Amino acid sequence: MTGEDNKSAEQSRSVEEGFALLDEMTAKLESPDVTLEESFRLYQEGMEILKEIRTSIDTYEKKIQVIMNNGETEEFV
């Protein structure tokens, strides 16, 4: 998978999918068999997923504010 393909997959991931991935990563991190290197990789990957989730939630929050302020739906840009 190229960097562009990976970015597209990240952009299409839902908030719920992101949280599910974080749950899986947490379970792996809690395993006594995980190596230090694997722990670091999982932590780094988890932080990237959190960043995506925050961005998505911020976007939704801004859309809701626009709806509430105008009483109408309009796309937030």
Task: pLDDT band for 69, please (50, 70, 90 cuts).
Answer: confident
pLDDT tens track for 6-18: 444 445 789 999 9
Domain boundaries, the chain: 13-70
6, 39, 67 from 75: Cα distances, Å: 26, 40, 9
C-beta of residue 45 within 8 angstroms of C-beta of residue 25? yes
The residue among 54, 53, 74 whose CA lies nearest residue 63 is 74
pLDDT tens track for 8-66: 444 578 999 999 999 999 999 999 999 999 999 999 999 999 999 999 999 988 888 88
